[in-house]
Amino acid sequence: MSVAPQPSLPSVQDILGEAAPRYAPADLALFERAYVFGEKAHEGQKRRSGEPYFSHCIETMRLLAELRMDPATLTAGLLHDVLEDTPVSLEGLRKEFAQPIPDLVEGVTKLSSLQFHSDHDRQVESLRKMILAMATDVRVIIIKLCDRLHNMRTLEYLSEAKQRAISRSTLDIYAPLANRLGMWRIRGELEDCAMYYLYPAAYAHLRSMVARKRSVRESIVRRSVEGLGEHLAAGGLQPEITGRPKHFYSIYQKMQRQNLSFDEVYDLIALRVITGTVQDCYDIVGRVHALWHPVPGRFKDYVALPKDNGYQSIHTTVIGLGGEVTEIQIRTQEMHRMAEEGIAAHWRYKEGGVSKGQEDKLVWLRRLVDWLQDVRDPDEFMDALKQDLFSDVVFCFTPKGDVIEMPGGSTALDFAYYIHTELGNQCAGARINRKMVPIRTEVKLGDIVEIIRSRTARPSPGWLEIAKTSRALSKIRHYLRSVDFDRNRQTGLDALVKALRARGVEIPAADLPERLERSLPSLRAATYDELLSEIGFGSIAATAVAARLAGEARKEAAAKPAKKSPARSQVIVEGLDNALVRMAICCTPMPGDPIIGFVTRGRGVSIHRGDCPNLLRTIQSGEEAADRLVSVRWNRGEQPDRRVSFRVSAEDRPGLLRDVSQVFAQLGLNIIETNTKSYIRNQKAILKMLVLVQNAEQINVALHRLEGVEGVELVTRVVHKQ
């Protein structure tokens, strides 16, 4: 019987392609050794497509070679799955390969285990670990981005559910990271691949519309390139001019953001001009504006004011041939490499680590890690991350002319904390463009900002409403915590004891430190006193800590021999002792609701709310049904917690989830599950929260307070069958 031949894998030389001459003979020998090691480790493993699994590792290395990464990174890319998917151990890897290769492989393995589509808190913790991994060695995330890109290219072989889950984390996490690292080419492909699976109808529509107008667009681009080239050549300039493709997802985002149809997106014509020197860039933009009228407000000079990740280019939008709105990017060859490859373009392999130039490009990352260390609340963490990592930026200046890049929406107070913590703590006012302004004034592009300091000025709780950036907010909170530490500690202890009593748990205050010692790391507190202070400050919910202690107490009680006692029902049936009762699922009565009993055939007494429409219809069906009604009342001493789902429909905004959660925290109610969805098109959000309550009064109070939260439009509740 003949056996079908297995597809042959490419050689190291084939993988490297045009990049091969960049690497020394010793590097090529290292690649060959890693190739043999990895192929043997993955021997017999197949991908869902039927290809050898090692082919994925090869393609990851190929992408890294295209980015011209250093030898250690290419080797780690080739071996990035051996710890996760083969019997190879970290110790074994360290015996075979010198550092930093084993550490890079271990870092990628840890990132692969992170969950970005599980519950909210796990997503946040996964993001935190990813940011810390990036700060340790940014090459880890570069390898992971290449790994994810190849996986997205071959996603067709997975189930629809996995396709959507992986695409969602790609769009929410990996594409923005690639953007922040300046890796535009990888970001664009990640976004388009994710869109294909998440929004298939929109993707298909865009693709057909782009294809339909391709010939017209290509004709305009060709004539624009020729016309601009002739115009520049007349002035002695001969740059490389090409059409610049726009990614589907960027077009889709613009249509969604501005509520446009495809025909209303006018700037689909885009050109890129690559020249030799910075002076040429400015000469060219002047000549472009002499040839075609510039669109007001659409000129950006990222050459003089580079982005934090090193991106440089001049952007201008003009009314080009045939009246078409045309985007033009003008840059040098080195700027172009940086724009395409981002942080990878600056990588220089050194024995001691990254080069000085590389370190300078990662200042924002170290700053981000510093800011996020003190953030404990998951929602606060996500707000900080979206703002400082994924948001737009504005460029402003110190009085000495230093360029400062701030997140969009930053205030003068944020600017002060950005410069230095002590300057922020002593901020009394500001001058923007030599004019005195309040510290809440928003900083705009090009502003010159001078901070007025006073030795008597100190942060106050009101500053938390003024500051917008995570750095400023974390520093203000840190100050307020330290000043009121003792008071917060006592407030936290009182709140914790109260929350425990609400759950029927009595733990002496002297026993609490020992009980909570093991839980401190997961609660992100260094000491017991710090935990109490955080509870008093409001950054950790007393109900969450009490729920953990109550759960441990229940486990301890279950381990002890139980004392037999007669079972008692939460509802008392008048005239019947120990009657079998059950809560009707049609109206799910809660303790405190008016109730009535209905004697069923063989299933005891069914307890309904007094206004239950189903029961009313049953009674009206005949006299026999009315005769089966019995008087019942709640047994006040036997009321377990009940699960209630609250559904909140609201206008989407930052901090919405935090404000809604705070309502339950203030009532001492424990949230055991959350589900949040945001709808970008209409700026709406749906929040579903599963909460433990004891009676109907707690539900009514919660409903009333939720309706008072800013932006909330409708609140409903469902009591679950216990």
Q: Which residues are part of the catalytic machinery? A: 84-85
Q: Which residues pair with 676 in a beta bridge?
A: 687
Tokens of 410: 């930053």
Residue 679 has phi, psi (to 5 degrees) of -115, 105
Of 310, 226, 340, 218, give the one whose Cα is nearest residue 270: 218
How many C-beta neighbours within 10 Å does residue 258 have?
9
The residue type found at 567 is A
Q: If you count them, how many residues does the chain have?
A: 722
Cβ-contact 596, 629 below 8 angstroms: yes
Q: Output helix, strand, coil percentages for the chain, rounded to the nearest 5.
A: 50, 15, 30
Residue 228 has phi, psi (to 5 degrees) of -65, -40
How many C-beta neighbours within 10 Å does residue 253 have?
14
What is the C-alpha separation between 519 and 549, in angstroms, rounded?
Answer: 10
Peptide bond into 613 cis (omega under 30): no
What is the C-alpha separation between 309 and 632, in angstroms, rounded?
Answer: 69
Cα–Cα separations (whole angstroms), residue 540 to 79, 104, 289, 388, 472: 41, 35, 57, 23, 20
Q: How far from each other are the two terminal CA atoms of the chain, in whole angstroms?
A: 61
Cβ-contact 145, 174 below 8 angstroms: yes
- 3-class SS of residue 400: coil
